[in-house]
Amino acid sequence: MLCASSFYESIRKNNIFGWHAPLDGCPDRTQTIGDMLNKASVAIFGRSWALPKGARENITIPMGMKSQSDAITDLQEIPKWKFHVAAYAEDINGNKIVLDPAVFDGPVDFDEWKKRFNPEDTHCKTTNWWEAPLYDWGGSCYAPDHMHESSLRDGDPSRYAVAQLAALQKEPAHPFKIDRFQAPEKRFFLKVKPSATAITPAPR
C-alpha cells in the first residue's frame, strides 16, 4: 500500500505543476498525476469531474475564492471554470481518494471533494481513466485519449501534458486564487498492484 498523504506531498511540492496559477491547467495536471500513480504501481485510479448542470456553460469555482488584487472588485470578473478535473485513486478500503492540490491541502475522499462545488450549477462524478464524460446537453468536455494520442503512441501518456504545464509555469499568477481548503485529518492508504511492475490503466 502507498500512503496517500506522502504521495500528495510529492505532487504539491513539485514545481512542474505550477500551483501558483491553480485556475488553469487542471487536465494536464491530472494527466501527469495519473502517470505518476501508474509508475507508483497504484492499482486503480481515474478522474473526478465537476461539470456544469443542464445547459449551463460554466461552473462556480469552489467557495474559497478571494481576490489577490484590490483593483478587481466587480464580481462579474471572478473567473468561472468550464469544468474541473482531478485524479483519484482507490484506497485499500475501496474509497475514491481525490488528489487535488488546487482545491485542498491534502487528500480527501470524493464526497468531501464534491462538497466544495455549488450544487446549483455543478454536478460531480468519477470516471475510469480513459472515459470522457459528457455535458448534460450531450457534448464531450474533454477526451484524454484523443488529446494525447500522439504521446500515447510514443509510450509516454504525460509528455504532452508536461509540455503544457511547462508553458503554464511562465504565466503570472491569476489575480484571483483558490484558498486551499483544509483536508480532514484522515489517513488513507492507496491500493497498489501485487506486482511491482506498473501496468497502464485498463483501456476503454
Determine, yes or no, domain membership for 196: no
Query: Which range marks the domain in which residue 147 is found?
Result: 2-190
- 195 domain-assigned: no
Query: Reduced to 3 states, what is the DSSP secondary structure of residue 116?
Result: coil
Q: How many domains does one find in the chain? A: 1
Integer angstrom CA distances of residue 200 from 17, 37, 97, 155, 156? 22, 10, 19, 10, 10
- Looking at the domain assignment, is residue 56 inside a domain? yes
21 falls within a domain: yes
Residues 6+ apart with CB under 8 A from 75: none
Residue pair 67/144 in contact by the 8 Å Cβ criterion: no
Q: Are 1 and 192 in contact (CB under 8 A)?
A: yes
Residue 182 lies in a domain: yes
Q: What is the pLDDT of residue 89?
A: 96
Query: What pTM value is reported for the model?
Result: 0.79
Instruction: Classify each residue of 79-93 as buried b or exposed e, where b means 16 or more C-beta atoms within 10 Å of its C-beta.
Output: eebebbbbbbbbbee
* 36 in any annotated domain: yes
Residue 90: inside a domain: yes
Instruction: Give me the CATH number covering residue 67.
Output: 3.10.620.30
Whether residue 53 contacts residue 123, with contact meaning beta carbons closer than 8 Å, is answered with yes
pLDDT tens sequence across 33-59: 988 898 899 999 999 999 888 877 788
In a domain, 66, yes or no: yes
For 118-160, how does the pLDDT look when each residue is reduced to its tens digit (9 = 90+)?
Answer: 888 888 999 888 777 777 666 666 554 444 444 444 445 566 6
